[in-house]
Chain A
């Protein structure tokens, strides 16, 4: 099983600041990585797939990078609606998810 490890578990930032979230795979997954945002009481919302491609309708302040085992989600300037939990996921071999990173004020 490919294990996805996210850090930090919690990130405290202010609106307008930059947020950088990390995700590490236990073995290479090439660029078969997606990122999701989950607000309280809602389903996960796809942000990024293929490690760096924004999903339809996702603002440009969200960007993804990385390949192999190291991946990053960057939110360039946090808006109030961006305070949520973020999950990474690999889809090279079955589907496995990171434990999530909470972005809070």
Chain B
């Protein structure tokens, strides 16, 4: 249902933009989220966006640095990540109510 892309190796302070292509359901009918999993750790909700993009929420640790957005015409979800920190290193997944992709790995390291 979800194909995430855009991850990679970036230095602390750098930026990345993640993308998620959704299929198999009515994209415009759901809030969409990003979820991440740091190496050896559990799953953590990062951000979500309302069906029409009018409301957005973030976990405290990424507020002011990450921006979630969506393009309903393309059934796509995005996460712009700025001022990246070592602790942002994780596999990032997109989700509607449930996870359904392989994720994209973001590694923040010098």
> In the complex, what distance in Å separates the CA atom of A98 from the CA atom of B45?
11
* Contact between chains at A87 and B102 (CB < 8 Å): no
B52 at the interface (CB under 8 A from A): no
* Contact between chains at A94 and B57 (CB < 8 Å): yes
B97 at the interface (CB under 8 A from A): yes
* Contact between chains at B42 and A95 (CB < 8 Å): no
User: How close is A36's CB to chain B, nearest CB, in angstroms?
Assistant: 7
B69 at the interface (CB under 8 A from A): no
> In the complex, what distance in Å separates the CA atom of A68 from the CA atom of B103?
30
- What residue in chain A is nearest B47 (Cβ atoms)? A94
A62 at the interface (CB under 8 A from B): no
Among candidates B48, B91, B100, B101, residue contacting A95 with C-beta atoms closer than 8 Å: B48
Among candidates B35, B44, B57, B99, residue contacting A46 with C-beta atoms closer than 8 Å: B99
Q: How large is the interface on B (under 10, 10 to 19, 20 to 34, 35 or more residues)?
A: 10 to 19
* Contact between chains at B42 and A97 (CB < 8 Å): yes
* Contact between chains at B43 and A44 (CB < 8 Å): yes
* Contact between chains at B103 and A95 (CB < 8 Å): no
* Contact between chains at A100 and B42 (CB < 8 Å): yes
A49 at the interface (CB under 8 A from B): yes
* Contact between chains at A46 and B98 (CB < 8 Å): yes
- With A89-B43, A96-B45 known to touch, is A46 a contact of B97 (CB < 8 Å)? no
The 10 closest A-B pairs by CB, nearest first: A91-B97, A97-B43, A95-B45, A43-B102, A34-B98, A99-B42, A100-B42, A95-B33, A44-B99, A43-B103
Binding site for A on B (CB under 8 A): 33, 35, 42-45, 48, 57, 91, 93, 95, 97-103
Binding site for B on A (CB under 8 A): 32, 34, 36, 43-44, 46, 49, 87, 89, 91, 94-100
